[in-house]
Amino acid sequence: MKIKEKTKNINQKIAAVGLFLSGIIVGTTIVATVSAQRETDKVLEIAKARGLNPDHIEAALKTYHPTGMKDEYIMFSSGGHSGQVIVIGIPSMRILKYIAVFTPEPWQGWGYDDENIEILRGDLCDPQRAKLTWADTHHPAISETNGDYDGQFLFIGDKANSRLAVISLKDFETKQIVCNPLGNSNHGAAFVTPNSEYIIEPSQYAVPQGGRYAPIDKYAEQFRGYITFWAFDRAKGRIDTEKSFAVEVPPYWQDLCDAGKGPSYGYAFCNSFNSEMATGRKTLDSKEPPLEVGVSANDMDYLHIINWKKAEELVKAGKHKEVVGVGGFKFKVIPLDVAAKERILVFTPEPKSPHGVDVSPNGKWIVVGGKLDTNVSVYSIEKIKKATEANKFEKTDRYGVPIIAFKDALEAQVQIGLGPLHTVFDDKGFAYTSVFIESVVAKWKLEEWKLVEKLPVHYNIGHIAAAEGDTVAPDGKYVIALNKWSIDRFSPVGPLHPQNFQLIDISGPKMKLLYDMPIPLGEPHYAQVIKADKLSPWLVYPEVGFSPAKMKKSAHAVEFGKEKIVRKENKVEIYMTAIRSRFTPEIIEVNQGDEVTFYITNVERAREATHGFALGGYNVNISIEPGETGSFTIKADMPGVFPFYCSEFCSALHLEMAGYLLVKPKK
């Protein structure tokens, strides 16, 4: 009887939903008409045939976007091993774009145009890094003003190669890549201070500073970490490497950071692991424990507390050293002994193997999740300041860094489950923490320090994102679980499975799972979610002949009707225009061995009138958006006839938008 009664209730709920839907179809109010009943029956038939219950239908209503309806939020997610950024609409969970960053990407012509090839080479990058064709993007950060997203820029780091990129949200294109000369590993960066004064890049695996060699048995003496503060020039939209600096830290493995706000403004908080300074098994028959065991032996690691405002003053006063790093580039570094003496760097213990540090919207609380703990640990900035000002430290570490006692910095611990990682916030005073081992999202109350609810997710959640959930003013509508595994959630596509992003509705008293989204591109990590109306991207470039790399008119812009071919000995320059449905010039003849540079201006002003330029045999495909001037250079070393064509859908006659490059062989 209970099963029958339950089935009857579900059917009644489905019928109610169906009647509601049919009422929408018939008019603005529910009217008991024959037409409405037919629509209700249709809905019931579809729900029954697909095995849907009322929760499924509710989720569909909350996420479905009919044609032309736009999303309320935009999520920027790391693309992991792809080296890119994924742009996703919320709540529809539709992928809108991959932003090409560190990796060549043919659709956008990224890595083929001369100007973006130059960006890929990077600033402060040695020649070996300039040759890299992959990256591991981890932590995107949207630029902020007064601790709130301003929608102007996006930053993302490359964990594998210690690089950082600047992306303009005017055209969603990468404008700058910088390499850190101090080492070869970070945890992906990027964490911004509340007015985007700096982008914080923590190192991950300690190395001898400057990328030099040192034997592993000299680890404690010669290996170091670094917390880099890249100065951002908002007016130029570029990192200013001359005004950037780093704070030297001990060779514990630094992990993630967050910048303080409000009462904690001027501070950065970075967690760490491997306070044991384990180095793994030095030989195959070694008796030392492997790294996985060695780096997790201690019960506590160290939360790094960095006073970046005071560090900034020390650098201006010249209390730093110039470290010659990878590629011979010099970089300003506050030495470890100076950082400790001046209280630029202070520690407090944190539960072992922490993986997330997140500052609450009001800036009062610093939340840490220890992967091998069952609690989130909440620290008080007031207590940290009080202890530092009073020189109340329980001891120093072996490098002289003062350590605030755990009890003197801690405000509370909240038991939420095994494997807490990352925390985001809503507008009602709740925090949401990803719990990896338990595969749940835990909701708990700030300042009451009480667990409220757990929602199972699928499976092994890593990072977590929320609608503006790490700003001073969270929105509180959605949380996204960034799950590492999908296992049985989607149709099998071979042994390599997609990741699984799950959209969760947090607008009501209970969390509700709305949507599963496969992510088939690398292994995404962190993400940030911004209100869509804070973004104001260009629909076409501001003027014809615009250079996206320079963010101004190109020196090689071509006016319509003024196309030309310029020959200077063995160098040929083609000044070409593109307009539906032709390139001008269409026939180009050069000699074998010539260096040939194309400058192509898309003279269109219509939205969506992008023209690609594909040149077979020479590995060229560039994308030229309306108003843009693009360029590429080839060595015409292969004689023959090479067709070129517009690789986008350029117009109804796009297959006729073509021409020939003729390379005359040497006699």
DSSP structure string for 549-571: TTTEE-TT---TT--EEEEETTE
Contacts for 541 with CB less than 8 Å, ≥ 6 apart: 171, 548, 625, 626, 627, 628
* Structure-token match 């569909």, residue found: 60
Strands (E) across 250-299 are located at 253-259, 267-273
**Between residues 4 and 430, the one the model is more confident about:** 430
pLDDT band at 658 (very low <50, low <70, confident <90, very high): very high
Cβ neighbours of residue 390 under 8 Å, at least 6 residues apart? none
Residue 212's SS3 state is coil
State the pTM of this model. 0.94
- Alpha carbon of 119 to those of 100, 111, 175, 198: distances in Å? 12, 9, 7, 20
- Rg over alpha carbons for the chain, rounded to the nearest Å, is 28
Selection from 455, 575, 430 nearest residue 512 by Cα: 455
The mean pLDDT of 445-466, rounded to a whole number, is: 97
Beta bridge partners of 450: 445
Alpha-carbon distances of 318 from 314, 350, 576, rounded to whole Å: 6, 33, 51
For residue 189, the model assigns a pLDDT of: 87
324-348: b (≥16 Cβ within 10 Å) or e? ebbbebebbbbbbebbbeebbbbbb
Q: Which residues contact 147 (CB under 8 A, 6 or more apart)?
A: 194, 261, 262, 363, 471, 472, 473
Contact present, 233 and 143 (Cβ < 8 Å): no
Among the listed residues 5, 18, 8, 11, the one whose alpha carbon sits nearest the alpha carbon of residue 57:
18
pLDDT at position 263 over 80: yes
Tens-place pLDDT, residues 428-442: 999 999 999 999 999
pLDDT band at 1 (very low <50, low <70, confident <90, very high): very low
What's the rounded Cα separation, in Å, for the pair 424 and 431?
6
Q: Which fold has domain 546-664?
A: Immunoglobulin-like (2.60.40)
Q: How far is CA 155 from CA 200, 411, 570, in A?
A: 10, 32, 41
Of 247, 138, 140, the C-alpha closest to 186 is 138
- Each domain of the chain, given as residue ranges in start order, spans 2-63, 73-277+293-534, 546-664
Structure confidence at residue 543 as a pLDDT band (50, 70, 90): very high
Which of 565, 573, 571 has the alpha carbon at shortest distance from 597? 573
Residue 509 has pLDDT above 70, yes or no: yes
Confidence of residue 24 (pLDDT cuts 50, 70, 90): very low
What is the model's pLDDT at position 28? 45
Report the phi/psi class of residue 51: left, alpha or beta, with left for phi > 0 and alpha for psi in -120 to 50: left
- The three-point CA angle 463-142-144 to 5° equals 125
The sign of the CA dihedral 381, 387, 391, 395 is: negative
Grade residue 53 by pLDDT with cuts at 50, 70 and 90.
very high
Which pLDDT does position 228 carry in this prediction?
Answer: 98
What is the rounded CA–CA span in Å between residue 382 and residue 393? 15
Give the integer Cα–Cα distance in Å for 635 and 24.
63
Residue in 352, 240, 355, 250 with CA at minimum distance from that of residue 306: 250
- Find the mean pLDDT for residues 117-124: 95
Instruction: Tell me the three state secondary structure of residue 645.
Output: strand
Is residue 217 within 8 A of residue 282, CB to CB? The reply is yes
CA–CA separation, 606 and 2 (whole Å): 63
**pLDDT value at residue 652:** 83
**Lookup: tokens for 219:** 């680890």
Mean pLDDT of 645-659: 89
At CA 590, angle to CA 585 and CA 593, rounded to 5?
145
**Residue 457 tokens, joined:** 């997710």
Residue 85: strand pairing partners: 78, 99
Q: Which amino acid is at 251?
A: P
- Percent share of the chain, pLDDT over 70: 95
**In this structure, what DSSP letter does residue 496 have?**
S
Q: Quick check: 27 pLDDT over 50? A: no
- Confidence band for 319, pLDDT divided at 50, 70 and 90: very high
What is the mean pLDDT of the segment spanning 369-398?
Answer: 96
Q: What is the mean pLDDT of residues 90-106?
A: 97
pLDDT at 286 (0 to 100): 87
Evaluate if residue 19 carries a pLDDT over 80. no
Strands (E) across 371-521 are located at 375-380, 395-396, 402-403, 410-415, 420-425, 430-435, 440-445, 450-456, 461-466, 478-483, 499-505, 512-519
Distance CA 620, CA 640 (A): 16
The reply to whether omega before 581 is within 30° of 0 (cis) is yes
407-420: per-residue pLDDT in tens? 999 999 999 999 99
Note the pLDDT of residue 44: 84
pLDDT value at position 25?
45
CATH of 73-277+293-534, one of 2.60.40.10, 2.130.10.10, 3.40.50.2300, 3.60.15.10: 2.130.10.10
- Angle, to 10 degrees, between the axis of helix 2-26 and the axis of helix 54-63? 30
* Mean pLDDT on 528-554: 98
Residues 6+ apart with CB under 8 A from 461: 421, 434, 435, 436, 439, 440, 441, 481, 482, 483, 484
> pLDDT per residue over 185-199, tens digit each?
898 789 999 999 999
- Residues 659 and 578: their CA atoms lie apart, in Å, by 12
**Sorting pLDDT into bands at 50, 70 and 90, what band is 402?**
very high
Other beta carbons within 10 Å of 415: 15
**Mean per-residue pLDDT for 439-467?**
97
- Give me the chain's average pLDDT, please: 93
Written as one letter, the residue type at 450 is: K
In the numeric block, which tokens belong to residue 546? Answer: 């615009």
Contacts of 84 (CB under 8 A, 6+ apart): 98, 99, 100, 101, 102, 103, 105, 137, 521, 522
Q: Same CATH topology for 73-277+293-534 and 546-664?
A: no
What three-state secondary structure class fits 175? strand
**What value does the mean pLDDT take over residues 515-533?**
95
Strand pairing partners for 454? 442
